Chains A and B, each alone.
Chain A
Amino acid sequence: MLGVTMMKTISLMFWAAAVLLIPAELLLAAVGCDLNDPDRDVARLFPGSTGYKTNYVAIDQKGGPPLLAQIEDRLGDKFQGLFETIDVPYTLYEVFKGKDKIGYIHGVNEKGQYGGIQVFVVLDLEGVIKNFYFQKLTSRYGKELRDPKFGEQFVGLTLKDFYNYDVQTGKTSGPSGVERIKNPVPEAQPDFKAALRGAKKNLILVDEFILGNKYLQYHKAGGEQKK
């Protein structure tokens, strides 16, 4: 009697242990894009803010392959290469003034011509860009691209403005707020394109993760028009 009970207990223990076993590979997941010094950077990027909350979101946890497919569809390009993967943990900063939430800061890694580019956008609660910031940029024309005047061109734009921008060709089809963003140096075209792709990807992810797909309607409307 005890023998049977004991065997059952042992097999239950084995199953529980097997369920709990975590592959070591999980410890070696992809890295996201954090602010280097969040206390300093949030205060600088969002003047008047008094605090922030850090959230980590990954596509594989939030919606898996169907969500990735939707994001790629909205972006108009596939996620590529070794490092733009479904398990990248994105760091989303919710910014507060006192107890009131006043906006978001979100960054993404993007592949530039000579190295990784880290593109951060500062958004209000409606998803309107208030600030644009390259945290890291390796380029021959880094000085020009990091000039505040370049970032100022993004201020006031939303994801709606990016839908007619093709991240693969770098061209717009139809009216698009992106047209007003000018490349400061023609030779910096690959990094300029990467910056716009990074900004569009960034806005799509914020829309999916936190704005409840507020701007998805414009993508669908655009798709219907194209058909």
Chain B
Amino acid sequence: MIKIFNVAYKNLLRKKARSGLTIIGIALAAWVLVSLLGFNKGYESSLNRDIDNLGFQMIVTAKGCPYEAATLMLKGGTGLRYMPQTITEQISKEPEVEEVTAMLMQAVFDPNKGESGGYSAYLGVDPATFPQMKSFLEFKQGNWFTNPEAMEAVLGYEAAELEQREVGDLLLITEKNVEVKVVGILKRTGTQDDGTIFLPLKAVQKIFGIKDELTGIGIKVKKDANIAQFEEKMYKLPDVQVVSLAQVKQTIMTLVSTAKVMVFSIALIAILISVVGVINTILMSVMERLQEIGILKAMGATAWDIFKLIWLETLILCISGGIIGTALAMATAKLTEVMIRQLLPYAPSGGLVQINSALVILTFGVVILIGLLSGVYPSWKAGRVRPLEAIRSQVE
């Protein structure tokens, strides 16, 4: 076997340029395959993580226009109506619920923001439950509130950057003329939290004179719970509406699946091109060496020996291309990600291209399969060569 390998290897060396170009072709196909599959995996898991990082899978808001509810969930805007705080206890008693957190969003008009004024929004959160639910939030400076009624604020990174605030600084709620002290600056998360100013729920209720009322309740559902059934239960509550991230996630995933078909189509085209390239190269090589193959057979080589030799040459080309392509894909994963982010600025946060060992093994499997399949016809053709005819044809 080692001898056959050496012969096959040396045969490839005889036409370096052609062998090199074929390897590059296979490497490019492998690069495209690994990068596309890695992107597919990375995008899906980043999207999942971003949705999970919201901390809760469901938001219950006071009944009103569903677009306001969606805005509250996605953009952190204000809800138009309020619901009693007692609903929180009612919801937390449901068996599907792991945790709930009460929220009150308020906004004030600041006439000195921009040319014609602008709104500043404040999200009142329950210090006992919100930080636990959003345990992925990390602090650049400081920490959460010192007590549940403190006139203190925690700022998302972008909110702090815009307001140029650091821990110990004051923040003015203009319309109410109330000062709050900044006690924490969050690190960037890539989510809506970056632009949010958090205050203790009770402080917001006190500042804005809203007693025992909320604009939203975040619900973390148990992992094994039937979300659809639980949603139905929530809809039965009076004067509330439910915005479920499970629905949003499902819709996004349907869109992602459509994109997946495109991705796999491109990968399939790349594979087909490389298969045709390999067949062409090996077939050309066989036709050029007909006389040589004829002599080998005349010296006693069987059809199977010739078949193995040509097949091995194909495999060497494919495996070399596979190694280079996979290495290239791994080395340029970050660059690919940067380029994707340029094209898709609203792509989910985190690693968009995830190349793991399973993906590498899969790619090698595909590349070896390409080698085996594309080598069959040229090898079979070489094995069927009749020695005398082959030798004579070259002499003539």
| A residues apposed to B, CB below 8 Å | 1-2, 5-6, 9-10, 13-14, 17-18, 20-22, 24, 27-28, 30-31, 36-37, 40-41, 44, 81-84, 109-117, 134-140, 142-143, 146
6 A-B pairs (CB sep. < 8 Å): A17-B332, A17-B335, A82-B140, A115-B171, A139-B112, A142-B174
Query: Are B331 and A135 within 8 A (Cβ)?
Result: no
Query: Are A136 and B164 within 8 A (Cβ)?
Result: no
| Interface bracket on B | 35 or more
User: Chain A residues with Cβ under 8 A from B170's Cβ?
Assistant: 113-114
User: Chain A residues with Cβ under 8 A from B211's Cβ?
Assistant: none
Q: Is B58 in contact with chain A by the CB < 8 A criterion?
A: no
Query: Are A18 and B172 within 8 A (Cβ)?
Result: no
How many Å lie between the Cα of A139 and that of B324 in the bound state?
61
How many Å lie between the Cα of A138 and that of B12 in the bound state?
74
Q: Residue B335 contacts which of A20, A82, A110, A114 (CB distance < 8 angstroms)?
A: A20
Q: Is B111 in contact with chain A by the CB < 8 A criterion?
A: yes
Q: Is B16 in contact with chain A by the CB < 8 A criterion?
A: yes
How many Å lie between the Cα of A208 and that of B58 in the bound state?
52
Closest residue of chain A to B141 (Cβ to Cβ) is A82
How many Å lie between the Cα of A110 and that of B164 in the bound state?
7
Query: Are A2 and B171 within 8 A (Cβ)?
Result: no
Query: Are B331 and A18 within 8 A (Cβ)?
Result: yes
Q: Is B49 in contact with chain A by the CB < 8 A criterion?
A: no
Give the A-B pair count, Cβ closer than 8 A.
108
How many Å lie between the Cα of A37 and that of B337 in the bound state?
31
Query: Are B334 and A2 within 8 A (Cβ)?
Result: no
Closest residue of chain A to B140 (Cβ to Cβ) is A82
A24 and B163 contact, Cβ closer than 8 Å, known pairs A115-B172, A134-B112? no
How many Å lie between the Cα of A135 and that of B172 in the bound state?
17
How many Å lie between the Cα of A203 and that of B320 in the bound state?
60
Query: Are A41 and B115 within 8 A (Cβ)?
Result: yes
A22 and B160 contact, Cβ closer than 8 Å, known pairs A136-B113, A139-B112? no
Query: Are B140 and A116 within 8 A (Cβ)?
Result: no
Residue among A5, A110, A114 with the highest chain B CB neighbour number at 10 A: A114
- 3 nearest A-B pairs in the assembled complex, by CB-CB distance: A17-B331, A114-B172, A142-B112
Query: Are B177 and A140 within 8 A (Cβ)?
Result: yes
Q: Is B210 in contact with chain A by the CB < 8 A criterion?
A: no
A112 and B164 contact, Cβ closer than 8 Å, known pairs A6-B320, A27-B341? yes
How many Å lie between the Cα of A1 and that of B19 in the bound state?
13
How many Å lie between the Cα of A167 and that of B266 in the bound state?
60
Closest residue of chain B to A135 (Cβ to Cβ) is B114
Min CB gap A135→B, angstroms:
6
Query: Are A2 and B324 within 8 A (Cβ)?
Result: no
0/1 string, B8-19, CB within 8 A of A gives 1? 000011001001
User: Chain A residues with Cβ under 8 A from B160's Cβ?
Assistant: 82-83
8 Å CB interface, B142-173 against A:
158, 160-166, 169-172
Residue among A21, A36, A115, A146 with the highest chain B CB neighbour number at 10 A: A115
Q: Is B328 in contact with chain A by the CB < 8 A criterion?
A: yes
Query: Are B172 and A22 within 8 A (Cβ)?
Result: no
A10 and B324 contact, Cβ closer than 8 Å, known pairs A17-B331, A20-B332, A31-B161? yes
